[in-house]
Amino acid sequence: MVELLPPAEDARHAALINVLRHLEASGHPTPTVLFVEDENGSWRRHAARRPVGDRRRSIVAASSEGGLVDAVRLEIGGALWLPASTPAMEAACEAAASASHRRFVPCAGEDLVEMVVASATELRLVGWCPRLLWRRQLGRRLVDRLSLLAERLRCVPAILPFPVLLVADRSEAEVESAWREITDDGGVGSPGPPLVWDVPDAIGRPEPALSLTPVLEAMERERGREAGRKVPLQPVHELPSGCRVGWWTPDLSGEEPPGQGWLAAPRAPTAVGHIWQLGTGHADWETIIDGVDLEDAASAAMPLLRVPGWLAADIGRGTPAGLLIERLARDGRRAGRPLWVPNVGFEGVQFLLSLPAPIWVDGPGVPRAKD
């Protein structure tokens, strides 16, 4: 029988159990754990204690947008709104079954870092700047890409929480070549090629994990090397038409849209993402915000709402992010405002096409047939 957490005996839990029993009898996949959002948030503590594999095979019965955001952060595989229905539970269980097959790449502990350092002649760090922007935009996908890069380089996946990959005895040219091999043709939705920093010989011994901290801090300050590797303008398209409506860039730096459409750039961080500026020139900018709840979407000062990129990375039917985006899209339709969903893959586009228009999208799976 599926474990329900936090444990309770009330009408709400009884209804959830009945729906799960119906699905089990029908042969549908069922989750490892069903977390039920409660007023004091104890479900989060129960979820955080479980291994990530268990969390991905689990679902959450949510009653608030905040509960769904926490479910995304905890990598809960599926979600449904309370009160439960059989179709919603079925979608959540299928999403959890699918999520259980995703790869998980943990950040390296001190033992792994020390092993790399002990045998190295040269050490390099590989990652992206500005760190906060790309972590908010791509979330754990940065760690996944560094793991793929380590596989291509045939080196130990010593990934530090920056996130950066600690590479032993590989040249910058080897890193760049390996990155090209694992990157799609357009690179849209990508932070672009990672930067490579040499670790000084004096750093890394005898306490590598601790002494690398100043190198990581220097990485964030060292912006000059990014000049030749600027991320190209990222196109934003409207669904379902596929027409391009604008572009976004990590840094305006005198950029102008290459044709019709607006240009957006992040200006300041928020708790979940960034405040953005959007306009057709360098005057009369509109302010928009990365938001995750209806209060953000209803702000009269915002012409549209942008979903944080880290949240939108894995969206689909029955997922926590999918349920949240469905609600935000419905609210946007009522208010006559588009919803901007970034960082969308092919499966995400298929899901978004089923939602009320207008929705603006960018990412590797977005069609770009029309301008």
Going by pLDDT thresholds of 50, 70 and 90, the confidence category of residue 305 is confident
CA dihedral 253, 254, 255, 256 (to 10 degrees): 160
Are 242 and 367 in contact, with CB atoms under 8 Å apart? yes
**Both structure tokens of 53:** 């594999």
Residue 68's pLDDT is 95
Residue 188's pLDDT is 42
Q: Is 280 a residue whose pLDDT tops 90?
A: no
Q: Is 227 a residue whose pLDDT tops 60?
A: no
pLDDT (tens digit, 9 = 90+) per residue, 6-31? 988 788 888 898 899 888 888 888 89
> What is the number of helices (H) and of strands (E) in the chain?
15, 16
Q: b/e per residue, 293-311, with b = 16+ CB within 10 A?
A: beebbeeeebebbbbbbbb
DSSP code at position 227: G
Residues 6+ apart with CB under 8 A from 125: 160, 164, 165, 166, 167, 196, 197, 199, 212, 215, 216, 219
- 213-217, 236-240, 365-369: segment of lowest average pLDDT: 365-369
Class of domain 3-99: alpha beta
Q: b/e per residue, 62-94, with b = 16+ CB within 10 A?
A: bbebebbbbbbbbbbbbbbbbebeeebbbbbbb
Residue 77's pLDDT is 95
Going by pLDDT thresholds of 50, 70 and 90, the confidence category of residue 202 is low
CA separation for the pair 74, 97 (Å, rounded): 16
CA separation for the pair 248, 338 (Å, rounded): 16
**Both structure tokens of 190:** 């990508």
- Counting Cα atoms < 13 Å in the Cβ hemisphere of 59 gives 28
Residue 364's pLDDT is 80
Going by pLDDT thresholds of 50, 70 and 90, the confidence category of residue 38 is very high
Strand partners, 266: 276
pLDDT (tens digit, 9 = 90+) per residue, 106-165? 777 778 888 888 888 888 999 888 888 888 888 888 888 899 999 999 999 999 888 899
Residues 6+ apart with CB under 8 A from 216: 125, 160, 162, 164
Are 157 and 194 in contact, with CB atoms under 8 Å apart? no
Are 149 and 191 in contact, with CB atoms under 8 Å apart? no
Q: Where are the domains of the chain?
A: 3-99, 110-229, 234-361
Helices (H), the chain: 11-25, 42-48, 52-56, 65-73, 86-99, 110-118, 131-138, 141-153, 172-182, 208-211, 213-221, 294-297, 309-312, 320-335, 346-352
Sheet containing 123-127, strands listed edge to edge, beginning at the edge strand earlier in sequence: 159-160, 164-168, 123-127, 195-198
